């Protein structure tokens, strides 16, 4: 009988045996649950959680109120707190002093002089010196636009401090 059923359904004999077993267990469970199982009410099914909820909400609100009071009573100097975490000493920062007008000759200036120009740092000053060495000398102030890091706005800021000889 299993051989014929196997040919018609395409299942092997072992698969048919397992399928039959599963169906028999399902039917037996349904019969047992329907006729022999006494319906016992689960005590957790009808539990009233309102007391537990009340404990949670009162604790949560109290802690929120306490945290808000702590925040409201505290005046914080945030700038000072940021400085407290920073290891740098900001009092010793050297401010740039700009040179006098027309006081720096571009063809003879050293890095120390060029760094005093507004908007010029060590890197840009080195690039100016490299450009000057490459072209032997600077003939026109506008040639500085060929130096990487110097644009129209920076050139207009430093023009009054430099000259070419």
Domain-wise residue ranges, the chain:
1-93, 104-163
- The CATH number of domain 104-163, selected from 1.10.3720.10, 3.40.30.10, 3.40.50.150, 1.10.150.320: 1.10.150.320
Q: What is the pTM of this model?
A: 0.44
Cα(31)–Cα(25) distance, rounded to whole angstroms? 10
Nearest in space to 120 (alpha carbons), one of 93, 155, 146: 155
For residues 94 and 112, the answer to whether their CB atoms sit within 8 Å is: no
Mean pLDDT by 10 residues, the chain (165 residues): 83 90 95 76 66 71 58 64 65 68 83 87 90 88 88 88 85
| Max Cα–Cα distance, the chain, nearest Å | 115
Say what the pLDDT of residue 47 is: 67
Q: Quick one: pLDDT at residue 32?
A: 87
Please provide the distance, in angstroms rounded to a whole number, between the alpha carbons at the two ends of the chain: 115
Q: What does DSSP assign to residue 35?
A: I
DSSP state of 92: G
* pLDDT (0 to 100) of residue 20: 93
């Amino acid at each position: 009988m299993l051989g014929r059923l196997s040919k018609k359904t395409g299942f092997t004999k072992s698969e048919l045996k397992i399928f039959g077993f599963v169906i028999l267990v399902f039917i037996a469970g349904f019969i047992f649950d329907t006729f022999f199982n006494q319906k016992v009410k689960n005590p957790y099914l009808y539990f009233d959680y309102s007391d537990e909820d009340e404990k949670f909400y009162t604790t949560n609100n109290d802690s929120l109120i306490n945290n808000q009071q702590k925040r409201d009573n505290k005046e914080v100097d945030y700038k000072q707190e940021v400085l407290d975490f920073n290891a740098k000493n900001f009092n010793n920062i050297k401010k740039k002093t700009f040179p006098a007008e027309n006081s720096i000759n571009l063809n003879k200036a050293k890095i120390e002089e060029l760094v005093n120009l507004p908007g010029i740092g060590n890197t840009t000053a080195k690039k100016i010196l490299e450009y000057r060495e490459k072209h032997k000398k600077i003939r026109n102030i506008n040639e500085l636009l060929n130096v990487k890091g110097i644009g129209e706005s920076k050139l207009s800021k430093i023009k009054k401090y430099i000259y070419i000889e």
